């Protein structure tokens, strides 16, 4: 093959990729996509840069991306640095008032602004807000359940109301909202809330076309660990039958998908955030990646 032939072949492959994206560009133009950002995708610098590029691509392609993020590792690092004890009960961080001040600072003051800065390298698009701003999220104090009994874990909240007005205003202005998983309490307190749950609540409130949850696995495995085959699509009833047998780490992610779809979001996805440009691969390719959850009757 000559150099010229090689260039033509490369160019043709790129053109084929763009053409494959055409029907998806048409389908999702003007639609809102809520992306829960966390895990390895947030820790690896190359993946962080690729994620920011994905969001800007979505924005230029006419979609309306919204990011909801956590920051567990960053919180743990800062707590350790300041000598504040950190413990978990039933998978939830015990959050004292002292720890909550640090959680709030890390999520809304550090992690949020880092994401905004990465996106804004490509243009003045991202605006960071806290979930407590304009009462985007309102939460009440929740307890952890241990052996069937409630255990107090401090300033950890459960979202009971969502006001998407501030996010909608940013979207209408052509911005990319980046929302930290902190919530205002009706009692005047501020609560740490689960980022998966926060992303679901916002996706439902915004009538989003998709919820995308980035995680550290390829998707929902059909028969793990016996098989590494990923289930590409399934309905909510099919997923609910599988939930009791899933690993502890996957249950919250898949429950989030169930809640989102039952709340009116047409599609919810769990993607491997360790894969560069995972968001674009899911939205703009025929095959997609990860696992997609849809309402009953939506699959052929």
pLDDT in tens, 138-156: 999 998 888 888 888 889 9
Q: Considering only CA atoms, which of 290, 283, 298, 294 is closest in space to residue 25? A: 283
Q: Do residues 223 and 229 touch, judged by C-beta distance below 8 A?
A: yes
Q: How far is CA 42 from the centre of its chain?
A: 11
How far apart, in whole angstroms, are the C-alpha atoms of residue 230 and residue 295?
19
pLDDT above 90 (res 53): yes
Burial 141-160 (b: 16+ CB within 10 A, else e): ebbbeeeeeeeebbbbbebe
pLDDT of 30 over the 70 cut = yes
User: How confident is the model at residue 294, as a pLDDT?
Assistant: 93
Provide the pLDDT for residue 39: 77
What pLDDT sits at residue 78? 92
Q: In whole angstroms, what is the distance from residue 82 CA to residue 79 CA?
A: 5
Taking residues 91-106, what's their average pLDDT?
A: 90
pLDDT for 67: 98
Structure-derived torsion over alpha carbons of residues 85, 88, 89, 92, reported in degrees to the nearest 10: 120
- Average pLDDT value for residue range 6-29: 69
- Sheet-wide strand order for 267-272: 126-130, 176-180, 64-69, 32-37, 210-215, 267-272, 291-294, 233-235
- The pLDDT score that the predictor gives to residue 150 is 87
| Residue of higher predicted confidence among 96 and 119 | 119
pLDDT at 281: 86
Q: What is the pTM of this model?
A: 0.91
pLDDT of residue 225: 65
Q: Is the pLDDT of residue 249 over 80?
A: no
Q: What is the maximum alpha-carbon separation in the chain?
A: 72
- Is the predicted pLDDT of residue 9 greater than 70, yes or no? no
What is the pLDDT, as a whole number, of residue 206? 98
CA pair distance 106, 103, nearest whole angstrom: 5
Contact indicator for 194, 252 with CB cutoff of 8 Å: yes
Percent of the chain whose pLDDT exceeds 90? 57
- pLDDT of 58 reads 93
Q: Write the pLDDT tens digit of every residue in 185-194.
A: 998 999 999 9
The one-character DSSP state at 107 is I
- Choose from 3-12, 48-57, 87-96, 247-256 the range with maximum mean pLDDT: 48-57
| pLDDT tens, residue by residue, 194-245 | 999 999 999 999 999 999 999 888 888 877 666 678 889 999 999 999 888 8
Lowest model confidence (mean pLDDT) among 2-11, 159-168, 269-278: 2-11
- Quick one: pLDDT band at residue 253, thresholds 50, 70, 90? confident
Tokens of 79: 């707590």
Instruction: Please state, rounded to an integer, the average pLDDT across all residues of the chain.
Output: 88
pLDDT band at 33 (very low <50, low <70, confident <90, very high): very high
Lowest mean pLDDT among 47-56, 245-254, 262-271: 245-254
């Amino acid at each position: 093959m000559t150099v010229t032939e090689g260039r033509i072949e490369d160019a043709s492959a790129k053109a084929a990729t763009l053409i494959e994206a055409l029907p998806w560009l048409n389908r999702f133009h003007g639609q809102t996509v809520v992306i829960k950002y966390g895990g390895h995708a947030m820790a690896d610098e190359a993946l962080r840069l690729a994620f920011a590029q994905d969001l800007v691509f979505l924005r230029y392609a006419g979609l309306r991306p919204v990011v909801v993020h956590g920051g567990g590792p960053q919180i743990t690092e800062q707590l350790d640095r300041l000598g504040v004890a950190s413990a978990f009960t039933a998978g939830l961080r015990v959050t004292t008032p002292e720890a909550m001040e640090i959680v709030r600072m890390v999520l809304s003051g550090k992690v949020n602004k880092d994401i905004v800065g990465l996106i804004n390298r490509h243009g003045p698009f991202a605006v960071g807000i806290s979930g407590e701003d304009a009462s985007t999220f309102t939460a009440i104090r929740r307890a952890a359940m241990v052996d069937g009994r409630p255990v107090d874990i401090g300033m950890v909240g459960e979202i009971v109301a969502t006001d998407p007005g501030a996010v909608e205003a940013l979207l209408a202005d052509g911005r990319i909202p980046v929302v930290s998983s902190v919530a205002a309490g009706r009692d005047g307190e501020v609560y740490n809330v689960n980022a998966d749950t926060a992303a679901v609540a916002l996706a439902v409130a915004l009538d989003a076309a998709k919820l995308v949850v980035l995680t550290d696995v390829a998707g929902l495995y059909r028969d793990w660990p016996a098989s590494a085959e990923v289930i590409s699509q399934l309905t909510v009833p099919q997923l609910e039958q599988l939930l009791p047998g899933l690993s502890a780490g996957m249950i919250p992610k898949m429950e989030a998908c169930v809640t989102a779809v039952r709340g009116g979001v047409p599609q919810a996805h769990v993607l491997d955030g360790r894969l560069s440009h995972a968001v674009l691969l899911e939205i703009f390719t025929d095959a997609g990646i990860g696992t997609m959850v849809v309402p009953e009757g939506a699959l052929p």
